Amino acid sequence: MHTSIADILKQNQLSVTGSRTKILELFQQTGGALAHADIELKTGEQFDRVTIYRTLQTFVEKGIIHTIPTADNSVLYALCKDQCSEGHHHDNHIHFICDDCGTTYCLEQVAIPEVRLPNGFTKKQTDVVVSGLCNKCS
């Protein structure tokens, strides 16, 4: 069973408001990643652009969502999957961007491969972004 949206917010000491609930819902429904513009559109533009910026920023700070690096330099956000299993934090999964439909997937089932760095370099986080065709477009 999963944690309700309101619970996620409360667990992070955030008040339960319309925009936050709606935006989190949107992430849960989508499953994948969303850009700022997607959110504006898909919420029916009922929220101020600024509110969306601030909401996303808050979510990132609290670790509810994270940003995804993309080769085309757009800004994408996705749910941190372990938001439900509170405590442990390891969003170490691969992101896949479809060149055709543009959808971004968080491939939870694909583990991040180990990377060996040269001497003197310390690894904190590894982001892997794979692009190509998704299962719907190929």
Partner DNA sequence: GTAACTGCAAAATATTTGCATCCTT
Partner DNA sequence: AAGGATGCAAATATTTTGCAGTTAC
Binding site for a copy of itself (CB under 8 A): 67-73, 75, 94, 96, 99, 107, 109-110, 113-136, 138
Q: Residue 83 Cβ, how far from a copy of itself at the closest point, in Å? A: 18
Contact 79, 52 (CB under 8 A): no
DSSP designation for 113: P
Does position 63 interact with DNA (CB under 7 A)? The reply is no
SS3 state of residue 110: strand
Residue 28: both structure tokens together: 């849960």
Q: Which stretch binds DNA (CB under 7 A): 9-17, 104-112, 114-122, 124-132?
A: 9-17
Q: Whose Cβ is closer to DNA: residue 77's or residue 105's?
A: 77
